[in-house]
Amino acid sequence: MLQPNDVNFAAALQAELEHGWHATARPSQLPPEGDWAIWLMLGGRGAGKSRALSEWVLAQVLDGRRHIALLAPTAADVRAVMVEGPSGILAVAPEWNRPTFNPSLRRLTWSNGAVATLFSADEPERLRGPQYDAAAVDELCAFRKPEAWDQLMFGLRLGDKPRCAIATTPKPTKILKALLRQPREPRPIVF
């Protein structure tokens, strides 16, 4: 992993600025400006939601967040899509910000001490107790046990302004309807 004092770090950073995510993403794939708690990305297959979610997690690590929850419908989903998938964190992370994945601990660890823990919505009880300053949720509308959402929100309480980014294919679930009724700004982004 490149470190800030490495000779190649500046070149890697310059390349990222010129050709990286912020230079190539559609505006709807970038988080909204301002003060918000939940960013909801709605879109169909191939809309770029998973990539946007992975890039958001990487940005949270750079912004100083150290306790991140990754939540998907199943354990296989969180690993296969959010971590190891073609648009997953390991695939899109630049060398200088690439975490180490420890599958047995369900954990990604960055060199700066940030840790992302993997959770399955099928096991909402595992979300009891841990606390986070950021959370990334994939396919919220596909949760078989919606109480996982509640447990995640109870633990999202570290720091001054914890944030949650959600990427999901829309489906008229109670959770999605409740999120869409919230008066908070900015409004969800629809791809």
Q: Are 140 and 174 in contact (CB under 8 A)?
A: no
Domain count along the chain: 1
The CATH number of whichever domain residue 165 belongs to comes to 3.40.50.300
Say if 26 falls within a structural domain.
no
Opening angle at CA 157, ends 169 and 53, nearest 5: 30
Token pair in block for residue 73: 């419908």
- What is the CA 148 to chain-centroid distance, rounded? 16
Model confidence at 188, pLDDT cuts 50, 70, 90, reads low
Say if 13 falls within a structural domain.
no
Q: What is the Rg, in whole angstroms, of the alpha carbon atoms belonging to the chain?
A: 16
Counting residues of the chain whose pLDDT is more than 70, the rounded percentage is: 86
Say if 99 falls within a structural domain.
yes
- Report the amino acid identity of residue 107: R
- What is the CA 170 to chain-centroid distance, rounded? 18
Q: Round to whole Å and give the CA distance between 83 and 79.
A: 5
Say if 98 falls within a structural domain.
yes
Say if 49 falls within a structural domain.
yes
- Identify the DSSP state of 45: T
Higher pLDDT, 8 or 170: 170
Residue 7 has pLDDT above 80, yes or no: no
Say if 56 falls within a structural domain.
yes
Q: What is the pTM of this model?
A: 0.86
Say if 154 falls within a structural domain.
yes
- pLDDT computed for residue 113 by the predictor: 97
Task: Express each pLDDT in 56-109 by its tens digit.
Answer: 999 999 999 999 999 999 999 999 999 999 999 999 999 999 999 999 999 999
| Domain limits for position 118 | 35-190
Say if 87 falls within a structural domain.
yes
Token pair in block for residue 105: 């601990």
